[in-house]
Structure 1
Amino acid sequence: MDYNSNFYSFNSSDWKEKLLYWADKNFPFLAWTTGNAHSYRHGTFGDFLFLGKEKLNEDELWNQVSWKVGILGYDLKNRFENLTSQNPAFFPLPDFCFFSPNWIFTIYPEGIVSQNPIPESWIAAIDRQEIPVEKKITCQILPQLSEEEYLEKVAAIQQQILEGNTYEANFCQAYSGEFESWDPISAFLRLNQLSKMPFAALFKAKTTWLVSASPERFLKKSGNQLIAQPIKGTITRHTDPTEDQKNKNSLLSSEKERAENLMITDLMRNDLSKVSQTGSVEVEELFGIYALPRVFQMISTVRSELIPGVNFKEIIEATFPMGSMTGAPKISTMEILDQLESFKRGWFSGAFGWIDDQGDFDFSVVIRSIIADLEEKKMYFGVGSAITIDASASHEHEECALKAQAIFELLRGN
């Protein structure tokens, strides 16, 4: 697209915040994405604002050739495999929620670029837009599992491993809260200050919101190339450069973390092979160590060349959900997780992203993310880690706390 002729600047220094509040007031569906200038193999999310008025139905999602933005919920797996999700939901969420954007703005430091000319009155309205003085972003949150219960669940998974039913399971726990009022826009902006991630996103579907600081790509399609980038392996950052480097080296050399990462990388190779040309699936990077604001992550990159004629639905059926959020082998492990987890994941550990009008797409994994409904006045977020036979349950519990650290700080007002 040629955006050069449709550039718009604003008078105020806080124009991005005003733009989001103006968009919320005028559109029932919106999505804001940013890669926070991270260096990431095959790029990050672009800096976009998508605005829409109507939700797509299932046929339009799978078959309509157009821009589409939205979420694939984790429980969509039940449509692709003989699986169920019996656990209670915090509030109702659709298995997928997409809209076709009426407007797409590319965000630059000095202003926005639109694919079509926008009314001049919009620019004036955005400049005049008021930002709420009292921004409610804190919320009392409670764990669904006590630490003792968590340790018991990990022991149960390790028993399943001994019985040969799984090799690695990404067990997740949830935190939930209720509120009278909550400001998802301010929450997103604050979370993005606390933890700048390569796949950050704010998504609104009427009263339901996703506030996401995701570090992980699920799947990207560019032409006939597919890219998957599973994360397995986490260690904290340190303020002292010498200690920070020690932690980075420790993660890279950890046999446990490398074994976990390799299992999921092999799983993703298998998933991609279902829709890829024979011999085209390759591991482009194995055990890459990426520096994020609070943690180092071990990330591998798998790429392949698509079989000609394979469509979006066939790709998702072959690869969804992300193997890093299930474990291996995928189907039996998801059955075990549904038995042992205490909540319906809903949008958590699903995928958020967009498909363009050429059929290319980019999706993140919905982790390190808050899901809230302003009508239900409820929110929740999930966090998980990989359980293997040699995993320390107490260490995995600490790793979950590390991954959720920025969200805890946001919601507790630290």
Structure 2
Amino acid sequence: MRTHFSKEITNPEAFKNQLLTWSQQFREVVFLDSNNYHQKYSSYDCVLAVDAFTSLQTDFHNAFEEIKQYQQQTKDWLFGYFSYDLKNDTEKLASNNFDGLHFPDLFFFQPKKLFLLKGNQLEVHYLLLCDDEFELDFKEILNNKHQPIIDNRQPIIKQRISKEDYLSKVNKMLEHIQRGDIYEANFCMEFFAEKAIINPVEIYQKLNAISIPPFATFFKNNKHYLLSASPERYLRKEGNKVISQPIKGTAKRFSDEDLDQKSKTDLAENPKERSENVMIVDLVRNDLSKTATKGSVEVEELCGIYSFEQVHQMISTITSTVAENRSPVEIIKSTFPMGSMTGAPKISAMNIIENLEETKRGLYSGAVGYFSPENDFDFNVVIRSILYNAENEYLSFSVGSAVTSKAIPEKEYEECLLKAKAMFSVLQ
């Protein structure tokens, strides 16, 4: 049983930073921040879960069944991630590319301490509470103003795939499309740094400040870190309603108001970007139908344009209704990995992606989020993110774009560099 507390917070923005700084004393941390981005589907402005009471860490073998049993046994809040390579648990697929990060394929934990912030109202849920523990923690959080000093070493960032090789690989992808093997595939490339020493909290805060995304995440599992400025929701469940919001379509922001508006209008009217988005909407509709009640899958919004600090994005919203007996993990398994990061048809696209990419995706293009005790859940898509293994001092971020028959390799390369801009700017 959890002990509940409520507090009124006078300065929520300052409190969020104090929470994040205070959390670093714990081995396990998940910090989720919506950055007050206006969105229809949202429960909290900010969430912090720390300090594992129990946890589950595994490779892809039988991973979905293990997390299903763990979630059903605990019937509690669980926080963690599904890596992209869990695809190997659902289909006859493999992940044999280079991996410098060495994260587990799946990790979830049941936090001893949980903070849920909405407006200026704070809910706190503690397990195994000692006398006055929350009041002592709360006092410590409010007094937390400074981060521990880490000797940052500016990382020397390298590109795993050269521009020449990237263009060649996109052309091979186009050959697959022309042969009818696939209609669309998300092709990604890695930027990385070895012997990297960074302050993860500082880098996360810089990345979040220049991106201000609705699904920002700071994740820590001992020496493994995710610093994410994701604008994309993968999947959310509210009662018996399931919501997916894939992003396909990206355009540059401009400081000049007229140019910025033109960029936004051009994105909305771009036939290539719209066709990319519509293909993934069809894929998501098909995925959701596997667990939906008959006739309940609906496209709530098609190709809506949303503006973020760095880019304009084209986002669609697809919903479904699920039967009461459907387990949360079953819903996730039937839609994973998300269509926006794979392609169509999904399995064929994932095989081609594996052959052409040179880095194991791991947590990149996976999902981070939580399960609630009521069997609801909310997960983002891990994009616009920096991954860091502090033990072997390896830092990585990947970017990608959707390749369709209308793709021009040079333009796809430019889109990747646009998406990488925020990560470059905070690391250099």
- For Structure 1 versus Structure 2, the TM-score category normalised by the shorter chain is over 0.9
The corresponding residue for 2:51 is 52
**Contact 2:185-2:353 at 8 Å conserved across structures:** yes
**Which sections of structure 1, spanning at least 5 residues, go unmatched?**
none
More off after superposition, 86-95 vs 298-307:
86-95
Match 2:72 to one of 44, 63, 69: 63
Query: For 1:362-405, what per-residue CA distance to the aligned partner results, in whole angstroms no more than 9, with x for missing partners?
Result: 00000001111111211111110000111011111111111111
The corresponding residue for 1:233 is 249
Cα distance in 1, alignment partners of residues 48 and 383 from structure 2: 21
**Which sections of structure 2, spanning at least 5 residues, go unmatched?**
58-65, 127-131
Cα distance in 1, alignment partners of residues 317 and 14 from structure 2: 37
> Are 1:40 and 2:39 matched, yes or no?
yes
The corresponding residue for 1:316 is 332
Post-superposition shift, 1:181?
2.5
| Counterparts of residues 2-13 of structure 1 (less than 5 Å) | 6-7=6-7
Post-superposition shift, 1:240?
1.3
| Aligned residue-pair number | 410
> Are 1:255 and 2:265 matched, yes or no?
no
**Contact 1:135-1:186 at 8 Å conserved across structures:** no
Query: Over aligned residues, Cα RMSD in angstroms?
Result: 2.3
More off after superposition, 248-257 vs 87-96:
87-96
Cα distance in 1, alignment partners of residues 11 and 245 from structure 2: 40
**Contact 1:195-1:293 at 8 Å conserved across structures:** yes
The corresponding residue for 2:20 is 20
Match 2:412 to one of 380, 396, 401: 396
SS of equivalent to 2:111 = coil
**Contact 1:68-1:99 at 8 Å conserved across structures:** yes
Match 1:384 to one of 387, 391, 400: 400
Query: For 1:304-361, what per-residue CA distance to the aligned partner results, in whole angstroms no more than 9, with x for missing partners?
Result: 1013311122112210001000000000110000000001000000011101000000
The corresponding residue for 2:217 is 201
Match 1:79 to one of 86, 89, 92: 89
More off after superposition, 191-200 vs 303-312:
303-312
- The aligned amino acid for 2:138 is I
The corresponding residue for 1:367 is 383
Q: 1:127 to 1:47 in 2, by over 3 A?
A: closer
The corresponding residue for 1:125 is 140
Query: For 1:280-323, what per-residue CA distance to the aligned partner results, in whole angstroms no more than 9, with x for missing partners?
Result: 00100001000111111000000010133111221122100010
Post-superposition shift, 1:94?
1.2
**Contact 2:44-2:117 at 8 Å conserved across structures:** no
Cα distance in 1, alignment partners of residues 385 and 151 from structure 2: 19
Cα distance in 2, alignment partners of residues 245 and 44 from structure 1: 31
**Contact 1:232-1:299 at 8 Å conserved across structures:** yes
The corresponding residue for 1:177 is 193
The corresponding residue for 1:334 is 350
SS of equivalent to 2:50 = strand
SS of equivalent to 1:56 = strand
State the TM-score, normalizing by the size of structure 1.
0.93
Q: 1:154 to 1:302 in 2, by over 3 A?
A: same
Cα distance in 2, alignment partners of residues 139 and 309 from structure 1: 49
Cα distance in 2, alignment partners of residues 14 and 134 from structure 1: 22
- The aligned amino acid for 1:193 is A
The corresponding residue for 1:307 is 323
The corresponding residue for 2:62 is none
- The aligned amino acid for 2:275 is A
SS of equivalent to 1:406 = helix
Post-superposition shift, 1:189?
0.9
**Contact 2:196-2:395 at 8 Å conserved across structures:** no
The corresponding residue for 1:224 is 240
- The aligned amino acid for 2:402 is A
Post-superposition shift, 1:260?
0.5
Post-superposition shift, 1:23?
1.7
SS of equivalent to 2:56 = coil
Post-superposition shift, 1:40?
2.5
| Counterparts of residues 90-239 of structure 1 (less than 5 Å) | 90-107=100-117, 112-116=122-126, 118-129=133-144, 130-133=146-149, 136=152, 138-179=154-195, 181-239=197-255
The corresponding residue for 2:63 is none
Q: 1:3 to 1:112 in 2, by over 3 A?
A: farther
Q: 1:19 to 1:136 in 2, by over 3 A?
A: farther
**Contact 1:61-1:98 at 8 Å conserved across structures:** no
**Contact 2:155-2:196 at 8 Å conserved across structures:** no
More off after superposition, 372-381 vs 340-349:
372-381
Percent same amino acid among aligned pairs?
41
